[in-house]
Chain A
Amino acid sequence: MSALEMRYEVPGNDFTRAGEASSAIKNKLKQMGIPPGVVRNVAIAVYEGEINMVIHASGGTIDVFVDSDAVSLVLRDTGGGIPDVELAMREGYTTAKEDIRSLGFGAGMGIPNMIKYTDEFKINSEVGKGTVVEMKVYLEK
């Protein structure tokens, strides 16, 4: 049982609201007195995940667990899944369409950023079923 658990819904295909869940999570962690560096790492990783859910999966849920040693995140969607996860993890690889790219997305850095800014990263994706991303940022390095 975590000290604090929160769930956020991410609406799909709504770029005007993309980032709202991440901002809310960031504010909440800040209020709780989590160290600023940890808060920033969580915010960056969770925003990349949130954006991916909006672009590729018509939304999903984000669960946040705060414990004495780490902040854990579980991002779950029921989108189309990722056919080649290895490829999706590579810097620069993207399947984002031109209209999405014109907004500044689709640099192929989403998953690499999630890996870079977290201490633990796990991704499970099944084509036709969806994707689950689990991430953990330690409170003390």
Chain B
Amino acid sequence: MKVKDLIANLGFESVHEGEPDREISSVYCCDLLSWVMGRASADSAWITVMGNMNSVAVAVLADISVIVLAENAPIDSAALEKAKQQGVNILKTDKPAFEAGLLINNGL
């Protein structure tokens, strides 16, 4: 499944589409950045409520396909700017992390 399919088929809302054709191969949920760095697989959809600059850096460095902000968690403007510069995909949903993860996983 591609990042753009989350928007078109599963009702996720676009915050920034840096690379909408990027493939998603798994799902990872966590808000602690070092856990994400250490455990999330490359090309995963990462579900979090942590919308800061450092989340964007983690997504870039760990080759994460898309950041999904659960429960409409906010992203600060510096982080959004960084995501635009680096071509990072960011989506949001009103669903809690577990439900969002389940939805994506069922679509894989």
Contact = CB atoms under 8 A, between A and B. Distances in A.
Nearest to A39: B63
Interface residues of B, number: 21
Interface in A99-126: 103-110, 112-113, 116-117
Nearest to A54: B54
A19 B61 contact: yes
Contacts, number: 74
Contact of B57 (A18, A110, A113, A117): A18
A22 B38 contact: no
B61 A43 contact: yes
B80 interface: no
Contact of A40 (B31, B33, B50, B63): B63
A95 to B, nearest CB: 14
Interface of A: 15-16, 18-19, 22-23, 26, 36, 40, 43-44, 47-48, 51, 103-110, 112-113, 116-117
Interface of B: 31-35, 37-38, 42, 50, 52-55, 57-58, 60-63, 78, 86
